[in-house]
C-alpha cells in the first residue's frame, strides 16, 4: 500500500500524541495536532475528521505493518493499550521483515561477501525485537555459483577498501605472466561476469583503468598515507557500454558486427540478446535472421560466438570471422592429431 508524504506526517503525529501519556487525546485533538504538523512541514492546514479516522484504522490494521494497539477510553479518548508502543520504535514492519528475509536468501548465495552473513544476523535480531519467528522457507531463487573459485576471500577486504577509499598495492600474476607483478591501484568497482569476480581500478602510473581477476590476486595491502584519487572520471555504464564481459582495450573501438542466426536459434537470441546494441536487421524466408551489434571485439565476445558457432555465421567484420575460424582450426588440428592423442593416453596410464 503506497503511502504519500502527508500521510506519513499524520501517522507520525498521531503516534507522538498517543505515545504521550501526560494528556488525553480526543479525535478533535488529533485533527488539530495533524493540521499543525502539516502546516509546519507543508504549509497545509485543511484536514477532516474522516481523514484522521481513516489514518487510525490504517495504523491499527496490518496494511502498513504497524498493527498499532489504538483503543478508545471512556468513548472519547484515544490512546495505546500498550504504554511502551510507538511506531517510531519499530525498525521495520512484519511485511518488511519478510522482504528482508527474501533479500537475504538471495544475497546468501554470493559466496565470499562476509557482509551478507552480518545482514542475516541483523535480520535475526529484528525478528526478536518485533517478536516474529519467520518460517524457514525453501529457496525460491537459485543463482549460479562457483564456490571453488580461487580468490573469493578477497571480496570482503576489497569491498571494504573501495568504500574506505584506500590506495592498494596488489600482487598479481596474470596467466600470461611468468612471475607476479606489484601494482599500485585506486580501486573503484567489483564486477561479476560469467561466475567470476573482477576488480576495476585506476593505475595512476599508467594513467588508465585496469581489470584484475580476483583469482589471480596473490596479496593486497593498503598503502599508508597514500592519497586516493576519487572517481570523478570512471562511469561503469559508459566504460562497459560497448563490450561483452569485462575486457576493455585502451585503444579499442566498437565496430558493427553482422551475424546470421539459424532458424532454431533465433528465438533464443531474441529473448536473450548478446548485448543491448543488438537489433534484427532482416528476417529471411527460411526463418533465419541477420542481427547487427555494435561492439568492441574482445576475448569474451569471441568466446561467446564460438560457443554458439554451430547456429551462427559471422558475416562481418572479416577480421573477426578469420580469428574465429583460426581458433576452430587449431582445435580441429589438435583433436585430429593421432600422435598427440597416443602420447596423452600413454602419459595418463603411466603410474
User: Each residue's pLDDT tens digit in the chain (351 positions)?
Assistant: 455 788 888 999 999 999 998 899 999 999 999 999 988 887 777 788 999 999 999 999 877 778 899 999 999 999 999 988 888 776 666 666 666 666 666 666 565 566 556 665 666 655 555 555 555 556 666 666 666 678 788 888 898 899 899 999 999 998 888 999 999 999 999 998 988 899 999 999 999 999 999 999 999 999 998 999 999 888 999 999 999 999 998 888 999 999 999 999 999 999 999 999 999 999 999 999 999 999 999 999 999 999 998 899 999 999 999 999 999 999 999 999 999 999 999 898 875
Give the residue from 117, 62, 123, 121 showing the smallest Cα distance to 97.
123
Task: State how far the Cα of 65 lies from the Cα of 59, in Å rounded to an integer.
Answer: 8
If you compute the radius of gyration of the chain from its CA atoms, what whole number of angstroms results? 30
Residue 201 sits in a domain whose CATH number is: 2.30.30.520
Chain centroid offset of residue 194 CA: 14
Contact 51, 14 (CB under 8 A): no
Instruction: Give the separation between CA 132 and CA 148, rounded to whole angstroms.
Output: 36
266 and 231, same structural domain? no
Q: Which domain holds residue 24?
A: 5-89
SS3 at position 214: helix
| Cα four-point dihedral sign 173, 177, 178, 179 | negative
Q: Is residue 134 within 8 Å of residue 102, measured between CB atoms?
A: no
Q: Is residue 121 part of a domain?
A: no
> 144 in a domain, yes or no?
no
Whether 195 is covered by a domain: the verdict is yes
What is the number of structural domains in the chain?
3
Amino acid at each position: 500500500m503506497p503511502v504519500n508524504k502527508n500521510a506519513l506526517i499524520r501517522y507520525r503525529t498521531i503516534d507522538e500524541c498517543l505515545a504521550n501519556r501526560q494528556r488525553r487525546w480526543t479525535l478533535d485533538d488529533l485533527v488539530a495536532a495533524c493540521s499543525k504538523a502539516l502546516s509546519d512541514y507543508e504549509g497545509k492546514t485543511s484536514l477532516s475528521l474522516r481523514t484522521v479516522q481513516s489514518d487510525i484504522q490504517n495504523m491499527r490494521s496490518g496494511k502498513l505493518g504497524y498493527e498499532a494497539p489504538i483503543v478508545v477510553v471512556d468513548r472519547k479518548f484515544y490512546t495505546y493499550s500498550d504504554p511502551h508502543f510507538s511506531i517510531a520504535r519499530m525498525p521495520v514492519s512484519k511485511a518488511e521483515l519478510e522482504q528482508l528475509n527474501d533479500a537475504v536468501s538471495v544475497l546468501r548465495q554470493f559466496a565470499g561477501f562476509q557482509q551478507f552473513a552480518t545482514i542475516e544476523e541483523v535480520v535475526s535480531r529484528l525478528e526478536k525485537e518485533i517478536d516474529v519467528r519467520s518460517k524457514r522457507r525453501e529457496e525460491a531463487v537459485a543463482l549460479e555459483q562457483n564456490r571453488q573459485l580461487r580468490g573469493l576471500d578477497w571480496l570482503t577486504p576489497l569491498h571494504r577498501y573501495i568504500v574506505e577509499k584506500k590506495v592498494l598495492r596488489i600482487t598479481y600474476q596474470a596467466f600470461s605472466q611468468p612471475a607476479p607483478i606489484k601494482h599500485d591501484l585506486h580501486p573503484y568497482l567489483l564486477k561479476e561476469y560469467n561466475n567470476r569476480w573482477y576488480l576495476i581500478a585506476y593505475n595512476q602510473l599508467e594513467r588508465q583503468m585496469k581489470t584484475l581477476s580476483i583469482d589471480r590476486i596473490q596479496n593486497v595491502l593498503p598503502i599508508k598515507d597514500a592519497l586516493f584519487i576519487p572517481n570523478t572520471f570512471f562511469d561503469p555504464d559508459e566504460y562497459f557500454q560497448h563490450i561483452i564481459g569485462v575486457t576493455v582495450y585502451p585503444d579499442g573501438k566498437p565496430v558493427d558486427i553482422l551475424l546470421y542466426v539459424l532458424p532454431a536459434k533465433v528465438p533464443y537470441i531474441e529473448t536473450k540478446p548478446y548485448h543491448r546494441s543488438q537489433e534484427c536487421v532482416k528476417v529471411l524466408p527460411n526463418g533465419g535472421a541477420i542481427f547487427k551489434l555494435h561492439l568492441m571485439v574482445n576475448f569474451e565476445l569471441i568466446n561467446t560466438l564460438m560457443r554458439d558457432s554451430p547456429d551462427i555465421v559471422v558475416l562481418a567484420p572479416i577480421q573477426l570471422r578469420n580469428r574465429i575460424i583460426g581458433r576452430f582450426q587449431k582445435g580441429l588440428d589438435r583433436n585430429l592429431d593421432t600422435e598427440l592423442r597416443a602420447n596423452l593416453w600413454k602419459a595418463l596410464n603411466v603410474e
